[in-house]
Amino acid sequence: MDASLRFALEAAIREVPDFPTPGIAFKDITPVLSDPVLFERVTSALADAFAAQRPTHIAAIESRGFLLGGPIAQRLGTGLVPVRKPGKLPGPTETEHYSLEYGADALQIHRDAFGNGARVLIVDDVLATGGTVLAARRLVGRLGAEAIGCAVLIELAFLDPRQRLGDWAVHSLVQY
């Protein structure tokens, strides 16, 4: 990634202390989203990082992952599959429970989201401990597809998520 994009992102992303719970320093990407040029640079950089792997689908994690996943899917010419909190998807779903840096949660995906042989790129806004991405990766695998990697805007490297993810392909634009 070029240094000018990294600098622009570091200037735009704001930190909100004690959100959503005390002790958490939330990285707010809404200033990035409100700048159409910067937003396009972000989604292009994330898409381009995985273009050679030829994904067939983007699995976008609720909710800020949806904001990035749509433009990435369009740029790569892939399908877009929402990965949501329980009770938000109609029809039969698969569920995966996981732990967060500040609690526990679950994700769901439609059982017919993709067929065997699909190559899925998982997209989210922030990679923290890796729990959410691992849950999505397990859901993708359970449906017979291959999770080829993860694209995120922000990586909280101080939480060491890559140790949890192993040698799996991860591309982040900004690390804290």
Residue 101 a catalytic site member: yes
List, in order, residues 6 or more apart from 113 with CB less than 8 Å away: 57, 59, 81, 143, 145
> Which residue out of 41, 64, 84, 119 is catalytically annotated?
64
> Which residue out of 62, 94, 101, 146 is catalytically annotated?
101
Pairing outcome for strands 170-175 and 14-17: unpaired
Amino acid at 36: P
How far is residue 157's CA from residue 159's CA, in Å, rounded to a whole number? 5
Residue 64 a catalytic site member: yes
How far is residue 162's CA from residue 147's CA, in Å, rounded to a whole number? 15
How far is residue 97's CA from residue 164's CA, in Å, rounded to a whole number? 16
Catalytic residue numbers read: 64, 101
